[in-house]
Amino acid sequence: MSVWIAETLIATTLLMAIVMLLRRPVARWLGAGTAYCLWLLPLARMMLPALPQEVVYPSPLQMAVDRAGLPTLLDAAPAMAALPARAEATIPWLEIWVSFWLLGLVVFLTVQAVGYVRFRRFILNGATPVGEEGRIHIVSSPRAGGPLAFGILRPFIVLPADFALRFDPQERAMAIAHERAHHQRGDLAANMIALLLLGLHWCNPVAWIAYRAYRADQEQACDARVLALYGQDQAPVYGRAILKAAAGHPFAGACHLNPITALKGRLKMLSAHEMSLRRISWGMAAVALVTMSGLALTASGSRAAQQVAAITEKVDSMNFGRLADLVAQPASATEIAIPQVPEPSSAPKLAPHVRTGDTAANVPSVPAVPSIPPAPAADMIPPVPPLPPAQPMRLRDEDGRALSHAIPSEAEIRRTVPDVDVANGCEEGRSVNRRETVDADGRRHIRVRICEAQISAQAHRAARVGLIAARAQIAAAARMSDKIRADVLRDLDKEIAHMDEEE
């Protein structure tokens, strides 16, 4: 189970990085909606179960050992069973890390749930109902800085208290259409799933960066839907609505019209040309192809994943304590029962020498005691004859073609599976630094360092430059009234000054 979790988290991280590399070219050539669909790839990989494992045939050596009935080193032999078991005190690092990861997941989800309840209570306190569109409740709240949407079971669209004063009728209609599109597309439920996925990767900096990119792509896809509804000629009006609602620090559980972090990308998207139906169809087909390829290459149950799981299970199942006791125990020879040699019987007494007259009767001499026969040799177990070289196993399929099967060694498996190390760190002045090395055994080591501070600073500078560029464009806009221009410029100046203070 732990192997599947680790493999899934690593594969999902790699897919997030791939999506972040593809999202901008895909949005430029195939549209913002197609780029937003790319984020289905890591979600689908996270929900993909392990594939069924392939049938592994035993090696010829193992088959020969099984036929001969030879005991293996770790089998429960009577001699090893007689040895006293000695438990070695080891630290369960795997259980500690899994518990720490689960604790972080619970804390993250608890913070998000409590924050959502507090945000909902805060934003609806003092809110005034404005109207309803189906299941969607439209309210006006003095605590809302701009239009926003939240709620899944009971959807809301919240408008600021000065919504009618700051926005003209066309801007109000497009702003409400933007928030309505979030509810119709199911973006609120998608955000909850994304937060759950982020909770599983709470200690992964790549996931946090990917979550911000996902929210930016979500807003741009919603902008593209609004422009498709009202027409590309209404892009300046919609851009003014976005600028008027510009503010920072959006809540994670809601969809805001006004996130300042994605303002520059959204303004660029407004100037994009309309995509043809054929181009959109090709884009969706490409996204489907990338999704299927990514899932097939990273699915649990592939050959590399099976080899890693087999090694882990083999190491976990070994009884190293009993093996150490066996090695430490001195070799004792088997006691051989030697039969007792019988004591030689005493020689018979000589008969007395009898004299009869002059003739002496001599008793015949006693025969010599026979030599003791040597003790019979004890029964010994004959040595096992050496095994003949195993013939290569050849299997044939239904058509009679020869099949071959080879089980790689542990060294070959280690060379196949790279060692990936992803952590937070700033090196060589780059936001993302990747190095790949190969050790003496032929194993690849991939080292990725992501500089969160530099990425955050770059995003902050890019947002400030985008605001300054937007201010210059609005100041030079001849079709805008002086009052609206003054209001927008004043709001932009406040936001630029606020960003300068944060630096």
Q: Check whether 354 has a pLDDT greater than 50.
A: no
**What average pLDDT score do residues 106-127 get?**
94
Q: Which of 86, 481, 503, 484 is nearest to 322 (CA)?
A: 86
CA 61 to chain centre: 36
Model confidence at 50, in pLDDT bands (50, 70, 90)? low
Kindly state the helix (H) or strand (E) to which residue 268 belongs, with its residue range.
helix 263-270
C-alpha dihedral (229, 227, 487, 251), degrees to nearest 10 = 90
Residue 377's pLDDT is what?
53
Look at 245 and 113; give whichever has higher pLDDT: 113
Alpha helices by DSSP H, 338-475: 410-416, 452-475
pLDDT value for 173 = 93
pLDDT at 68: 54
**pLDDT for 267:** 66
The Cβ of residue 381 has, within 10 Å, a number of other Cβ atoms equal to 6
Pairing of strands 419-424, 444-450: parallel
Q: What is the pLDDT of residue 306?
A: 55
pLDDT score of 154 more than 90? yes
| CB of 465 closer than 8 Å to CB of 264 | yes
Written as one letter, the residue type at 289 is L
pLDDT of residue 1: 61
pLDDT at 156: 95
pLDDT tens digits along 321-339: 444 454 445 444 444 444 4
| Per-residue pLDDT tens digits for 285-296 | 776 777 677 666
Task: Compute the Cα dihedral for 286, 287, 290, 292 and give only its sign.
Answer: negative
Higher pLDDT, 207 or 450: 207
Instruction: Give the mean model confidence (pLDDT) for residues 130-152.
Output: 92
Partners of 484 in beta bridges: none
The most confident of the ranges 49-53, 299-303, 419-423, 476-480 is: 419-423
25 or 86, which is more confident: 25
In which band, very low, low, confident or very high, does the pLDDT at 158 lie, cut at 50, 70 and 90? very high
Instruction: Check pLDDT > 60 for residue 204.
Output: yes
Q: What is the pLDDT of residue 361?
A: 46
Number of H helices, E strands in the chain: 18, 12
Q: What is the pLDDT of residue 118?
A: 94
Q: Are 407 and 433 in contact (CB under 8 A)?
A: no
Tell me if 38 sits within 8 A of 26, measured CB to CB: yes
